């Protein structure tokens, strides 16, 4: 009986892993030194770190005025929807030192993880580009459902209202 149960558990895990079809696993350290794991798939990006949450994967640059203008809305969304939702920002302009990144985060009162510009971050951006046709313009964001499936993509600055509506739709909230 134990062998049968072990086989069923292994078979179930194998089916789940195959269904997800992970292409590559990225292990990032965010601005605070915490680990964030992102797994690319044909259908999107899954994060075991934020399993069960809707994720907004936001590509930005510190010298991009629309990117900076989005930050207060992102901060508000992160506060209002915490527990069910997570923003993960990926810096894709020139590299900043850890001190510069921490100053940027503090100056903008960012309350979500920021992945610094590293070769791995650029590799992730290149993967996204190959799947979506994105040409590197920023800001660029992808809304991922709880399973990591890409639900919507956004090129350019988005209104807080539009993002809230799209995010809540993934929670099965009623929206007006």
Q: What is the pLDDT of residues 71-110, one digit of tens each?
A: 999 999 999 998 899 999 999 998 999 999 999 999 999 9
Closest CA to 146 of 14, 60, 56: 56
Residue 127 to residue 170: CA distance in whole angstroms: 24
Report, as an integer, the average pLDDT of 151-168.
94
- Does the structure show a pLDDT above 60 at 1? no
The distance in angstroms from the start CA to the end CA of the chain is 53
Could you write out the DSSP letters of every residue in 101-156?
HHHHHHHTT--S-EE---HHHHHHHHHHHHHH---S-SSEEEEE-TTSBEEEEEES
Q: Would you say the pTM of this structure is higher than 0.75? A: yes
pLDDT at 108: 97
Banded pLDDT at 18 (limits 50, 70, 90): very low
- Which CATH architecture is the domain 23-170 placed in? 3-Layer(aba) Sandwich (3.40)
Residue ranges covered by each domain of the chain: 23-170
- Six token digits for residue 15: 């089916």
């Amino acid at each position: 009986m134990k062998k049968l149960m072990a086989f069923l558990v292994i078979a179930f895990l194998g089916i789940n892993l195959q269904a997800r079809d992970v292409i590559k696993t990225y292990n990032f350290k965010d601005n605070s030194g915490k680990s964030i794991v992102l797994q690319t798939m044909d259908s999107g990006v899954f994060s075991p770190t934020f399993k069960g949450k809707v994720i907004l994967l936001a590509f930005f640059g510190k010298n991009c005025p629309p990117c900076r203008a989005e930050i207060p809305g992102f901060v508000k969304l992160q506060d209002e929807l915490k527990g069910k939702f997570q923003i993960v920002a990926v810096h894709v302009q020139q590299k900043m030192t850890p001190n510069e990144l921490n100053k940027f985060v503090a100056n903008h009162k960012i309350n979500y993880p920021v992945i610094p510009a590293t070769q791995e971050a650029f590799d992730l951006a290149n993967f996204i580009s190959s799947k979506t046709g994105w040409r590197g313009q920023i800001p660029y964001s992808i809304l991922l459902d709880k399973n990591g499936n890409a639900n919507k993509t956004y090129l350019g600055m988005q209104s807080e209202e539009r993002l809230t509506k799209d995010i809540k739709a993934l929670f099965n909230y009623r929206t007006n």
